[in-house]
Structure 1
Amino acid sequence: MKVAVIKYNSGNVQSVLYALERLGAEAVLTDEVDEITKADKVIFPGQGEASTAMNYLKERNLDKLIPNLKQPFFGVCLGLQLLCSHSEENKTPCLGVFPVKVKKFLPESYAESKVPHVGWNNLFDLKSPLLKGLDDESFVYYVHSFYAELSEFTIAQTHYIKDFSALLHRDNFYAMQAHPEKSGLVGEKILSNFLKL
């Protein structure tokens, strides 16, 4: 099985590649349309700023390619946010795979109000084969200041300041706000489930 990891100057690519290697997947880091199109699975990692990332995708026509891919596709962190319709981060129009808005956390007047949201938090209301073998006590690792709103495409939630979409699913597209490659056995299980889809 060949996995294309989309290259767009995001920060956590190497750890994603290591995680895939541990699971026995043959992964290639690429921004070449042909390589992405021919891959069995595609992973869209991310850590960075929305408008800069979208500009990189547009320069390489990946903004047109990605929404039309047919193989199982997995967006991670910024990758999830860019699959949505719009991000409040620099008022960025995104790829529109999920008709969902990405908003900035607004701090509240209690202890958990630090932004960005950094650290371990649990998933709940799980509803997808992608999450097979996990439960509401499954913890994953987050680093983010923006979140996708809850919608009909939400397949798991996390609460930080408010409930938000921890994972999304529409057709062949899946996405996760937390970092599976930094989330220990739970993250490994989610990546493994994705590779089996």
Structure 2
Amino acid sequence: MIAVIDYGVGNLFSLVSSLRYLGLDAEVTGDAEKIGAADRIILPGVGAFADAMAKLRQTGLDEVVTGQAEAGKPLLGICLGMQVLFDTSLEYGEHRGLGLIPGRVAPILDDLSPADRAALKIPHMGWNRLEIVRDCPLLRYSRTGDYVYYVHSYYARDCADSVAAVSEYGIPITGAVVRGNVMGTQFHPEKSGETGLRILKAFSEIGG
């Protein structure tokens, strides 16, 4: 079973629909026992980093997620759920994350050239091309040139050892990260058509 963690950050309907379309057993839950009994965990999320971390801590799910990941269970963070896997975020101040992947989350705008700041819209929203930079189980059914769907204004940086795929948007945007059993996608697989379904299918086979 795949536990989709519900901590009050985001609409989980499309993600669960995608998993069930693939014939996968998925349950939305914030229950520590059910998360512990699951074969794999997905941590979704939309919104602000600090709010997400506050909700994880208030529910004790920060320790649940960290403990399960450190025990070797496959964990996939999506969008904001990926960002909270990192050490820190600079979104509206500096905030501590779960620390499962070394690196930090920073504003895209700060790293763009003056010309790109004028030409590119923030948030980075819509379809963009993936460039796979490292082979990993999460992307076993994906290839460079596949398109995925993004909605974000902040991105993971200083994490070169974990980057598996990027998308160009003035700078290389971290699209997917993998560090052992801990994985993340900045884009939304559940909104990325067949490409996203292939990524979710690959995740369902990791550790199985």
| Structure 2 gaps, min length 5 | none
Is the Cα–Cα contact under 8 Å of residues 80 and 175 in structure 1 kept in the other structure? yes
Number of residue equivalences: 196
In structure 2, do the counterparts of structure 1 residues 109 and 13 end up closer, same or farther at CA, with 3 Å as the change threshold?
same
Is the Cα–Cα contact under 8 Å of residues 4 and 42 in structure 2 kept in the other structure? yes
Amino acid at match of 2:98: L
Which residue does 2:151 correspond to in 1?
Answer: 143
Taking the aligned partners of 1:22 and 1:133, their CA distance within structure 2 comes to 17
Is the Cα–Cα contact under 8 Å of residues 112 and 160 in structure 1 kept in the other structure? no
Shift of 1:112: 4.6
Report % sequence identity. Answer: 37
Taking the aligned partners of 2:54 and 2:136, their CA distance within structure 1 comes to 32
Q: Determine whether 1:17 maps to 2:16.
A: yes
| Structure 1 gaps, min length 5 | none
Q: Which runs of 4+ in 1 moved over 2 A?
A: 107-112
Shift of 1:67: 1.7
Q: Determine whether 1:117 maps to 2:124.
A: yes
Shift of 1:161: 2.1
Greater mean alpha carbon deviation, residues 108-117 or residues 26-35: 108-117
Shift of 1:164: 2.5
| TM superposition score normalised by structure 1 | 0.95
| TM superposition score normalised by structure 2 | 0.90
What is the CA RMSD across the aligned residues, in angstroms?
Answer: 1.3
Q: Secondary structure at the match of 2:126?
A: strand
Which residue does 2:167 correspond to in 1?
Answer: 158
- Which residue of the other structure, out of 131, 134, 137, is the alignment partner of 1:129? 137
In structure 2, do the counterparts of structure 1 residues 30 and 112 end up closer, same or farther at CA, with 3 Å as the change threshold?
farther
Shift of 1:98: 0.5
In structure 2, do the counterparts of structure 1 residues 145 and 80 end up closer, same or farther at CA, with 3 Å as the change threshold?
same
Q: Secondary structure at the match of 1:103?
A: strand
Is the Cα–Cα contact under 8 Å of residues 127 and 156 in structure 1 kept in the other structure? no
Which residue does 1:3 correspond to in 2?
Answer: 2
Shift of 1:174: 0.8
Taking the aligned partners of 2:107 and 2:196, their CA distance within structure 1 comes to 24
- Which residue of the other structure, out of 195, 199, 204, is the alignment partner of 1:186? 195
Greater mean alpha carbon deviation, residues 105-114 or residues 162-171: 105-114
Which residue does 1:169 correspond to in 2?
Answer: 178
Is the Cα–Cα contact under 8 Å of residues 141 and 199 in structure 2 kept in the other structure? no
Taking the aligned partners of 1:13 and 1:129, their CA distance within structure 2 comes to 24
Q: Determine whether 1:89 maps to 2:96.
A: no
Shift of 1:44: 0.5
Taking the aligned partners of 1:75 and 1:112, their CA distance within structure 2 comes to 30
Cα-to-partner distance string for 1:85-114 (whole Å, 9 max, x where unaligned): 111112221100001110011154246521
Which residue does 1:38 correspond to in 2?
Answer: 37
Is the Cα–Cα contact under 8 Å of residues 91 and 107 in structure 2 kept in the other structure? yes
Shift of 1:143: 0.2
Which residue does 2:64 correspond to in 1?
Answer: 65
Which residue does 2:28 correspond to in 1?
Answer: 29
